[in-house]
Structure 1
């Protein structure tokens, strides 16, 4: 079965829905959804220089958190266009929390120099953003097809001209003048993540198979405070760092503050700093978690601001109001991804990428808290504007299908990536990971995992959320971005270096 549309958007999170909404008035758009992705699970909020804040201050905080490795042009686009995109989201019906005077309530999160994070439902921002965008997209008449994209279609001229979607055990070909990847990150390539199981890196594998490049794949962010439930795999509940923004502190088993003296912002240091400190504490103490102490925050504040966190804690029998809660780092966000320009175009004609699957350079070596929803809003609109103004004409001629392989031993792949490419890495482990993954084929999980480990093995210094115990400092000789492409055997390999700031 074959059908045709102007544009296929693969993914129904904030980035995909923002792109679809921007295109709906002028183009025939089809959204393919294998699940709602990570957006509904986002707790903290949307960071934006709104209501008197200076976008340049937001840009500064973004770059500092990103270890000076961000693309300054794209960061500027993010912070300058962000307030307008937030205002449009509110116009579409998003209900953000407000103060008594009607102004938007803003909170402080790690890495930010001032409160600029707007939130909804206390700590249910992602769910509200997703609800508002999904409603707007439906009102605009955009169709959603529920299924998994298992391949791309490429013309003999080298352009992506369609997708292959599996629904109900059958594969449908959908021809398109352009395809937008908005598939999110790679969370389920690790054993434990804050992401749902549908987020497994398929977009990365699809892009590589089509001939696209990846960049910054070594920069995988671990959220410092996932709720420790005793599980070592699957999706773990998130404890938003806005709890620390309200005054909670991290403690070790003896009650000592973990972040005291480690960073000027202490518990509100950038995520990579806090995650490494927790990991070091757990290694020192031989423990599986540390403690988050929110007992100094007024009970009414906790109940109003963090109902999701309260409920998650209650499910494991812990009271956030009166007890310290167990937390540990978990895989959270991919700072790199498919290489794009600032308008979402990859280096394969007809293929675009937006959101966490894309690498625009706005996150550098470590994402600033609550910049992810903002990125989806801003760059979703930018790719929509590009395709509204300059949609390629469909090219006739022969085409070939680029189907994803099936993964062999997916749990083993996840275990390898977790063991060797977590918060703490070293050359011997990363090289062992490459050898072990080579025996497990070229399925999407294996492709994603190998993309991470070959980049991490190649980068022989430490910056942001890439930390190697054998190269623990920043080395300016590695002030370059690593580009990953498929080699002649269909496996990811580092193929090129790009100067910093030129993603």
Structure 2
């Protein structure tokens, strides 16, 4: 298959970019591919909302910029922060024009929420399913674009570069170029190639690397892993944000139900096993401190009490307003026997968001020519060492727009594509035992959760690297000798991402933002990004 613009991923970043390109270039073909159903993305599970300054009487760009810089703990790119905050309102207006609906009060004014780290009420939301509503509006608009093809169940194996043409490609090779991708069609089990002059990676996060995460099962770090294999630049992977309040269900692994930070913004109080409101002991902002502080505080309270969770107390809140603003949270809690009006919600931190990723410039360009990245898989410089709540959807829209602007302005400058060889599966056979894959995945998630979690130290990181190296060797052996499957490819990517997180954590000789190492509890004077 050949296409003019290839988009990998169907979350808010990929869909926004595709829609803009399609409208600007009606004669060009835009192809979106996704490894599952089109709406199964991290965007779909974003509950809280999108942060944007739209009330200049009570808020300002300067306040939003300052809040973002404080949360990022010295590692934000200030120029990028200003770009995202100031261009944000225009992008919000566009998605509203495309049909996204945000909650309003009886007077028709937008209801603005407040979350941890924000100095003002500036969070637009659609009940507690904001991401799903934005995704819905974008998919409806995509259906109306005749030059967009949206293909499901295609899993990208690797980016095609000069490496696949027989050339030696290393980190120091100048002008590494992306020509498209090899994909596994999971419905036919065939490996196909999609050739394109321009490719956008919008592949989302990597929460499945951990035992418990708020991310769906598709969040396996595929974009980051394939760029690293292609010798592209990856940055700041050690900064994994753990959402402080995922619903705790004893014995459950995998995706945990998210209790949005907006619940605390509306007055929810965190309490420990003894019923004490403990956040005042950790930060003057109490329950609305930034996520890294709240997650570490909960982790510490759990270790002190020897319990696996703390509680979110909503019993004092107006229940009619709670049901209106958080209907899905209310129903989910009821489904497991918790009435939030009379019982506290058991919560615990879960892997939530990757602040690092594919290193890009202010136009979303990666270090590989003709390859853009935006959304959670990218490291644009906005989040620094810790993402400010509800900045992710805003960043995705702003950088999708910037990737689109650069891509359409330079598309005619791109040289013709070389002849791309077909996938070579010579010498491979069907795998005999799936347990070799499933057990390795469990081991990886256990290692990452126990050794590279909220609190780290050098011994744990060294142990993690040794075990990840062993898992890498075993999995590469399988990859070289067996026909590829979705499970094997995802495992391979997650092992690479686990390695990058652990390696980045080992290089950072300080505690900053989301990375807390008990061997280096203070920040260093040298503020730097870790590029791998």
TM score, norm. by length of structure 1:
0.93
Question: In 1, Cα distance between the equivalents of 2:396 and 2:405?
Answer: 14
Task: Give a deviation string over 1:471-496, Cα, whole Å, max 9, x none.
Answer: 1111113x110111xxxxxxxxxxxx
Aligned equivalent of 1:469: 518
Residue 43 (1) aligns with residue 44 (2): no
The answer on whether the counterparts of 1:8 and 1:30 sit within 8 Å (CA) in structure 2 is yes
Question: In 2, Cα distance between the equivalents of 1:414 and 1:291?
Answer: 25
Counterpart pick for 1:365 among 380, 385, 391: 385
Structure 1 residue 261: Cα displacement:
3.5
Query: Residue 128 of structure 1 aligns to a residue in which SS?
Result: helix
Counterpart pick for 1:393 among 414, 427, 451: 414
Residue 135 (1) aligns with residue 183 (2): no
The answer on whether the counterparts of 2:114 and 2:266 sit within 8 Å (CA) in structure 1 is yes
Structure 1 residue 289: Cα displacement:
0.1
Question: In 1, Cα distance between the equivalents of 2:44 and 2:326?
Answer: 15
The answer on whether the counterparts of 2:100 and 2:137 sit within 8 Å (CA) in structure 1 is yes
The structure-2 alpha-carbon separation of the partners of 1:262 and 1:401, relative to structure 1 and needing over 3 Å to count, comes to: farther
The aligned runs of 1:66-145 (5 Å cut-off) are 66-120=72-126, 122-141=127-146, 142-145=148-151
Question: In 1, Cα distance between the equivalents of 2:67 and 2:53?
Answer: 11
Question: In 2, Cα distance between the equivalents of 1:10 and 1:403?
Answer: 22
Task: Give a deviation string over 1:268-324, Cα, whole Å, max 9, x none.
Answer: 000000000000000000000001001111111111010111122112110122211
Q: Which has the higher helix share?
A: 2
The answer on whether the counterparts of 2:7 and 2:18 sit within 8 Å (CA) in structure 1 is yes
Structure 1 residue 51: Cα displacement:
2.6
The answer on whether the counterparts of 2:353 and 2:376 sit within 8 Å (CA) in structure 1 is yes
Q: Which has the higher strand share?
A: 1
Residue 154 (1) aligns with residue 161 (2): yes
Query: Residue 366 of structure 2 aligns to a residue in which SS?
Result: coil
The answer on whether the counterparts of 2:22 and 2:30 sit within 8 Å (CA) in structure 1 is yes
The answer on whether the counterparts of 2:192 and 2:423 sit within 8 Å (CA) in structure 1 is no
The aligned runs of 1:261-340 (5 Å cut-off) are 261-340=281-360
Rg comparison, structure with higher value? 2
Residue 449 (1) aligns with residue 447 (2): no
The answer on whether the counterparts of 2:202 and 2:376 sit within 8 Å (CA) in structure 1 is yes
The answer on whether the counterparts of 2:15 and 2:142 sit within 8 Å (CA) in structure 1 is yes
Once the two structures are overlaid, the 10-residue window that deviates more, 297-306 or 136-145, is: 136-145
The aligned runs of 1:238-249 (5 Å cut-off) are 238-249=258-269
Question: In 1, Cα distance between the equivalents of 2:467 and 2:352?
Answer: 24
The answer on whether the counterparts of 1:289 and 1:328 sit within 8 Å (CA) in structure 2 is yes
Question: In 2, Cα distance between the equivalents of 1:381 and 1:299?
Answer: 40
Question: In 1, Cα distance between the equivalents of 2:115 and 2:422?
Answer: 45
Aligned equivalent of 1:491: none
Any unmatched runs of 5+ in structure 2? 166-174, 477-491
Structure 1 residue 402: Cα displacement:
9.0
Question: In 2, Cα distance between the equivalents of 1:65 and 1:386?
Answer: 29
The answer on whether the counterparts of 1:302 and 1:321 sit within 8 Å (CA) in structure 2 is no
Aligned equivalent of 1:186: 206
Structure 1 residue 394: Cα displacement:
4.3
Question: In 2, Cα distance between the equivalents of 1:362 and 1:193?
Answer: 23
Query: Residue 151 of structure 1 aligns to a residue in which SS?
Result: strand
Aligned equivalent of 2:454: 423
Structure 1 residue 232: Cα displacement:
4.0
Structure 1 residue 179: Cα displacement:
1.1
The aligned runs of 1:367-382 (5 Å cut-off) are 367-382=387-402
The aligned runs of 1:248-259 (5 Å cut-off) are 248-259=268-279
Aligned equivalent of 1:204: 224
Structure 1 residue 399: Cα displacement:
4.3
The structure-2 alpha-carbon separation of the partners of 1:76 and 1:135, relative to structure 1 and needing over 3 Å to count, comes to: same
Once the two structures are overlaid, the 10-residue window that deviates more, 154-163 or 240-249, is: 154-163
TM score, norm. by length of structure 2:
0.88
The answer on whether the counterparts of 1:154 and 1:401 sit within 8 Å (CA) in structure 2 is no
The answer on whether the counterparts of 1:151 and 1:401 sit within 8 Å (CA) in structure 2 is no
Number of equivalent positions: 480
Structure 1 residue 400: Cα displacement:
6.2
The answer on whether the counterparts of 1:176 and 1:394 sit within 8 Å (CA) in structure 2 is no
Question: In 2, Cα distance between the equivalents of 1:308 and 1:396?
Answer: 48
The answer on whether the counterparts of 2:191 and 2:423 sit within 8 Å (CA) in structure 1 is no
Structure 1 residue 414: Cα displacement:
1.5
The answer on whether the counterparts of 1:41 and 1:126 sit within 8 Å (CA) in structure 2 is yes
The structure-2 alpha-carbon separation of the partners of 1:463 and 1:98, relative to structure 1 and needing over 3 Å to count, comes to: same
